[in-house]
Amino acid sequence: MPSKKSVAPKPALTAKQFKESVVKHLRSTLGTYEEKASNQAWGQAVAAAVNEFVYDGVSRTRKTHAGKNARAVHYLSLEFLMGRLMSNNLQNLGLYEVAEQALKDLNLEIADILEEEPDMALGNGGLGRLAACFIDSMATLNIPAVGYGIHYEHGLFRQEFHKGRQVERPDQWREFGSPWEICRPESQQIVKLYGYVETVYDQGKISKVWHPARTLRAIPWDIPIVGYGGQNVNVLRLWESRADKFFDWDVFNSGGYVDAYAESVQAETVSKVLYPNDETEAGKELRLIQQYFFSAASIADVMRRYKAAHGDDLGNFAKLNAMQLNDTHPAIAIPELMRVLVDEEDFAWNDAWAMTRETFSYTNHTLLPEALEKWPLKLIEKVLPRHMEIILEINSRFLTQEVEPKWPGNDDIKRKLSIVEEGEAQMIRMGHLSAVGSHTVNGVAQIHSELVKKDLFPELDALWPEKFVNVTNGITPRRWMKACNPRLSTLIEKHVDTDWPRYLEKLEGLKQFADDTDFQKEYMAVKRANKEDFVKVIKELTDVDVSADAIFDVQIKRLHEYKRQHLNLLHIMALYRRILIDPSYDMHPRVFIFGAKAAPGYKLAKDIIFAINKVAEKINSDTRINDKIKVVFLPNYRVSLAEKLIPASDVSEQISLAGKEASGTGNMKLALNGAITIGTMDGANIEIAEEAGKDNVVIFGMEVDDVVALQNKGYNPAEYYRNNEELKAVLDWLEGDFFTPGEPGLLASVKHNLVESDPFMVLPDYEAYSEAHKKIDALYRNPKAWARAAIINTASLAKFNSDRSIQDYADYIWHIDGVPAAKK
């Protein structure tokens, strides 16, 4: 392996100096003193001490990038699932051990202080967590970059269970503010909405003027993103929505105290909640406004900074600015940049379009039709009248100038490729808009990228074969091993270079110890200690007693049918039934652990959560099975909970229907920390199996071609229900009152979905899944073989470093180099 320059962060001060800084901030910043301070106050004081380094890094990084006239990346994402920042910032600055000792000297435990920080839960799942990993890697690789999103007052939601059912509560992540964010009012922007478009004729020239009926102020909040080693500190800029005026003084004085604030309340709604329920027309409208709000504010901000450095000459705008669309949520940014260039900067259409295409690239994250956004044309016309005109013009020119020459006279192809979907109500296909308006489109795993070309956009691939590429997703090993699994990190550093959190390929050095008995014992002792820690977490959160001797079998991801938590449930029920039939049934004890939130309007997903909880209640209280099975559904699954669970996991459930999961990143985090994957040939599972070796994962079920063949043949789920006695028996349990005594039918919706339609083919994969679990059981009973497989997984995951992903984006999509900030 070629030698690489060490980037392991070195502490900038001693524990004594850090302690003095913390105490200084406790007194002078927070106005309290040691004997009185709460853990929350101590946490804020530690954050203030850390921020001395963080904000100095922000200043140095900005000054360096401005001086170098560097090309910059602007990463537009509706989600950034950041989690907690204290531990990550301390690790990346090389201050974790310093802070730990300083706090011990103050009779405090760092773990207690870290627990005071709420999760920055500005995301739903993989999309937002990926964005968080990517901006960490951009800073680590010294890439000039800004993440852009929304400063939600509440995160997704705080999940509670009431009698087994999911209940959504507001997520108060910044109820008392956040020490990591800073407001930048000098960079606020005005965002326009509604109104009408005037066509102006002046000396033979036609121009368009948008007269908005409403305006919002976009207030930026910056969250510093510290790269590993602390040299570069980029920012995540999140936009908060406020009214153009605070309240109507005249209405207030006349006694309309509530009405006086109506405009302010309405404006603040835009950044109030992540993913408002869009089952209503008002919900759809709010979602569209959210997407436009942050896209427009971000483009205005990029334009402001460009003009501050280069004046009004936009000739180099695309050369110095790359904008990455993280899924279709920011797709409206494409017509917004066109509007700015054509209407405000007086560009000719063709020049503006060339610049727009050169600026944007688009990451596709899904093949599911319902997840590829479509907006009613009438809605866009109402909210963004000028943008609707621009979209129609983009579509017209695209069809006549690019599609027609390739397929002359072929109206079927035009209908497939049109950004406007015809039907009872015309819809705007945001995936098509993103692909047409970008210079590059990437998928996020090798199989997914191939399916994007083959199934999703085959005609666009034929039109522009060079446009579609793959960049396999990755995770940051700083958070997802070094910070969250310190025991394993310490073990690794005894045997390989301390730079492994930056150069993950150095973990390959562990392979030489995979068969070493002493190393296996050390490795499994780490896993055991992590499991014992998590036993306490389970007890605290669910009041369920579990044993660390059991296999911890984990499925953690948002609740969706295609992720097939209900396949896992059917197998759990089958195991339970086998033990009831034969109490001597031979299996190693297993704890099945779920963590997932269902979208508030997704009824079946919420029904699956309810079913898992009711089955868990029955199994966990049934003494006949001698604790061979326990089922735990962790409430309010989030990043900070994942950081405790993932190091304790034995088995990683990655069981989506082949061809439906774009990539997944939970599979990478779990495998890196030594969990054995049980999974389908889907998403990044395929590449994990290639890297770790198929002997070190357990693959089951249909592959993509099998799924297609069964669909073409005419899939009838009732046949599988009738022909498998075990499957029929457990499905029938769901319709009766076995798990809901005295209330038959409460779980029936899950059965009916599977027997009547089963859109994600749970039943055809059931037998293979059941057999795969027998392999897991047999492997775990062979401690040496299990330890070897776990070690090989940890040692083989270098490909899934988000640093590698971002380097691929930088080399093949953004064409950008790192620019290290000047050292202090």
74 is catalytic: no
Look up residue 116 and give its two tokens: 């005071």
What is the per-residue pLDDT across 630-649, written as a single tens digit (0 to 9) for each? 999 999 999 999 999 999 99
pLDDT band at 125 (very low <50, low <70, confident <90, very high): confident
702 neighbors 736 (Cβ within 8 angstroms): no
Amino acid at 268: E
The set of residues, in sequence order, having a beta carbon less than 8 Å from that of 169 and lying 6+ positions away, is: 157, 158, 159, 160
Q: Residue with structure tokens 């006349």?
A: 254
What is the per-residue pLDDT across 320-365, written as a single tens digit (0 to 9) for each? 999 999 999 999 999 999 999 999 999 999 999 999 999 999 999 9
Catalytic residue from among 542, 665, 680, 794: 665
Catalytic residue from among 478, 597, 669, 773: 669
Examine the pLDDT at 311 and tell me if it is beyond 50.
Answer: yes
Average pLDDT of span 25-53:
96
pLDDT band at 68 (very low <50, low <70, confident <90, very high): confident
pLDDT for position 1: 36
Q: Is 394 helix (H, G, I), strand (E, B) or coil?
A: helix
SS3 per-residue string spanning 158-217: EEEEECCEEEEECCCCCCCCCCCCEECHHHCEEEEECCEEEEEEECCEEEEEEECCEEEE
Q: Give the distance, in angstroms, between the CA of residue 761 and the centroid of all CA atoms in the same chain.
A: 25
104 is catalytic: no
The set of residues, in sequence order, having a beta carbon less than 8 Å from that of 420 and lying 6+ positions away, is: 377, 391, 392, 395, 426, 427, 428, 429
669 is catalytic: yes
Average pLDDT of span 32-40:
95
Catalytic residue from among 129, 563, 606, 660: 563
What is the per-residue pLDDT across 415-462, written as a single tens digit (0 to 9) for each? 999 999 999 999 999 999 999 999 999 999 999 999 999 999 999 999
Catalytic residue from among 558, 590, 597, 751: 558
Average pLDDT of span 55-60:
95
599 neighbors 275 (Cβ within 8 angstroms): yes
* Listed residue (477, 445, 530, 447) closest to 794, CA to CA: 477
Q: Dihedral (C-alpha) 513, 515, 520, 524: value to the nearest 10 degrees?
A: 110
pLDDT for position 642: 97
Catalytic residue from among 151, 339, 365, 429: 365
365 is catalytic: yes
CA distance 702 to 710: 10
The set of residues, in sequence order, having a beta carbon less than 8 Å from that of 621 and lying 6+ positions away, is: none
Q: How far apart are the first and last CA of the chain?
A: 31
Q: Give the distance, in angstroms, between the CA of residue 6 and the centroid of all CA atoms in the same chain.
A: 30
Q: Give the distance, in angstroms, between the CA of residue 798 and the centroid of all CA atoms in the same chain.
A: 20
What is the per-residue pLDDT across 608-618, written as a single tens digit (0 to 9) for each? 999 999 999 99
Examine the pLDDT at 517 and tell me if it is beyond 70.
Answer: yes
pLDDT for position 822: 79
CA distance 550 to 628: 8
Examine the pLDDT at 704 and tell me if it is beyond 80.
Answer: yes
Catalytic residue from among 557, 597, 606, 614: 557
Look up residue 58 and give its two tokens: 């922000």
558 is catalytic: yes
Percent of the chain predicted with pLDDT > 70:
97
Instruction: Using a cut of 0.75, tell me whether the model's pTM lies above it.
Output: yes
The residue length of the chain stands at 824
